[in-house]
C-alpha cells in the first residue's frame, strides 16, 4: 500500500460573518463579502501555522533518532539539505540551524508549503518553543513572484500559539493575532482569535487510481474577529465562526 500523506484544508464556515452595525457605525458591505475576505486572513494564521508546527515536530522527532531510526519508513519524506536544512514533502524547507526545536532559544524557519494547493502565497514561518505552546510567526515572503496581484500588494503578519502537548492526540488548540495591510488606499485590517480555536486532524483511508492512500484533514472549530479599516476609520467588522472540527479532548481547562 502506497501511503501518501497530504495536508488538506477542510474548514467550513457555517456562519460566516455577523451583519450587524459595530456600535453605531454603519456596516458598509454585506456579511458574505466581509466574511469571505476575513476567512482569507484567519485561515493562514490558524491552519497553516498548525501545519507548520506539525511538520516541525515530525522533523524534530527525526533529528532525535539514531542513524538506524532515521532510516525508518515514516521518515522517508524528509530530505536532508546542506547547512542544517531539511525539505519535507507537503511542508517545505526547514532551516534548523543545526539544533533541535525543543532546545532553549531555538528558532526554526520554514519557507512555504510548496504542495499546498490552497495556499499559493509564499509564507515564511518562524517556529519556536514558548511556555506551553509552539510560537509561530507567520508573514508573507518578500518573494511574491508566484502569487496574485493582491498578495503582491499586501502584507500579512500573524503570531500564532499552538498548544504544545496535543500532537499525539491529533488535536491542537490555537490562538492568534495578526495584521493585514494593503498599500493601496490605506486599507488595513486586524484579526485575532476569540479565545482558543481547536484544530483537529482526521485521517481517512481512501482508494483511487489503483492505489491506497491516506488523506489528512485539519478541521477548525472556534471563533475569530476581524476589523477592517481605511486609515483610522473602521469600515466594517466581522466575527467568524468555524464549525467543523470539534475536538473530543481538550488541552486547556476552564476552572471557573
Partner 1 sequence: MNKRTVVLIATLMLAVVQSYGQDFKRFTVKTWYSPSTQIQTNWYRNYSPVFVRGRYKVGESMAYIYSDYTSDVKSPGIFGASFSYSFKKWFALESSIGFTPVSYSTFDALKEAPTGKVTDCMICFIPEARFTALYREWVRLYGSVGIGICGYCDLKSSVSVALQFVPIGVEVGKSFFGFAELGFGHLYSGIQFGIGYKF
Residues that bind partner 1 (CB under 8 A): 26, 28-30, 32-34, 36-37, 40, 148, 150-151, 153-154, 182, 184-185, 187-189, 228, 230, 235
- Work out how close the CB of 224 gets to partner 1 at its nearest, in angstroms, rounded to a whole number: 17
CB nearer to partner 1: pick between 235 and 247: 235
Q: In the bound complex, what is the minimum distance in angstroms from residue 236's beta carbon to partner 1?
A: 9
Q: Cβ of residue 36: shortest distance to partner 1, in angstroms?
A: 5
Question: Which residues are 140's β-sheet partners?
Answer: 123
CB-side exposure of 142: number of CA atoms within 13 Å?
0
Question: Which C-beta is closer to partner 1: that of 76 or that of 148?
Answer: 148
Q: Smallest distance from the beta carbon of 229 to partner 1, in angstroms?
A: 9
- Cα 78 to Cα 43, 124, 253, distances in angstroms: 26, 19, 35
**Read out DSSP for 10-53?**
---EEE------STT----S-HHHHHHHHHHHHHIIIIIHHHHH
For residue 119, the minimal CB distance to partner 1 (Å) is: 13
> And the C-alpha cell for 62?
527525526
Nearer to partner 1, 33 or 89 (CB): 33
**Comparison of 29 and 70: residue with beta carbon closer to partner 1:** 29
Contact 23, 237 (CB under 8 A): no
Listed residue (139, 222, 170) closest to 57, CA to CA: 170
Give me 156's grid cell: 500579512
Give 37 or 75: the residue with its C-beta nearer to partner 1. Answer: 37
**Rounded-to-integer distance, Cα 84 and Cα 61, Å:** 15
Amino acid at each position: 500500500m502506497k501511503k501518501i500523506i497530504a495536508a488538506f484544508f477542510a474548514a467550513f464556515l457555517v456562519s460566516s460573518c455577523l451583519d450587524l452595525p459595530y456600535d453605531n457605525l454603519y456596516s458598509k458591505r454585506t456579511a458574505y463579502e466581509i466574511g469571505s475576505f476575513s476567512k482569507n486572513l484567519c485561515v493562514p494564521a490558524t491552519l497553516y501555522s498548525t501545519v507548520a508546527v506539525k511538520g516541525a515536530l515530525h522533523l524534530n522527532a527525526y533529528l532525535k533518532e539514531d542513524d538506524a531510526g532515521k532510516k525508518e519508513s515514516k521518515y522517508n519524506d524528509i530530505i536532508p539539505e546542506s547547512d542544517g536544512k531539511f525539505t519535507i514533502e507537503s511542508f517545505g524547507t526547514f532551516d534548523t540551524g543545526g539544533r533541535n526545536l525543543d532546545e532553549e532559544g531555538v528558532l526554526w524557519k520554514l519557507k512555504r508549503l510548496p504542495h499546498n494547493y490552497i495556499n499559493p502565497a509564499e509564507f515564511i514561518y518562524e517556529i519556536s518553543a514558548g511556555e506551553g505552546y509552539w510560537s509561530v510567526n507567520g508573514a508573507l515572503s518578500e518573494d511574491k513572484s508566484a502569487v496574485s496581484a493582491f498578495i503582491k500588494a499586501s502584507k500579512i503578519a500573524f503570531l500564532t500559539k499552538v498548544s504544545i502537548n496535543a500532537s499525539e492526540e491529533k488535536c491542537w488548540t490555537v490562538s492568534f493575532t495578526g495584521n493585514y495591510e494593503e498599500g493601496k488606499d490605506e486599507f488595513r485590517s486586524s484579526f485575532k482569535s476569540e479565545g482558543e480555536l481547536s484544530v483537529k486532524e482526521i485521517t481517512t483511508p481512501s482508494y483511487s487510481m489503483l492505489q491506497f492512500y491516506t488523506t489528512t484533514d485539519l478541521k477548525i472549530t472556534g471563533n475569530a474577529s476581524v476589523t477592517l479599516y481605511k486609515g483610522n476609520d473602521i469600515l466594517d467588522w466581522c466575527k467568524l465562526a468555524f464549525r467543523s472540527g470539534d475536538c473530543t479532548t481538550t488541552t486547556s481547562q476552564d476552572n471557573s
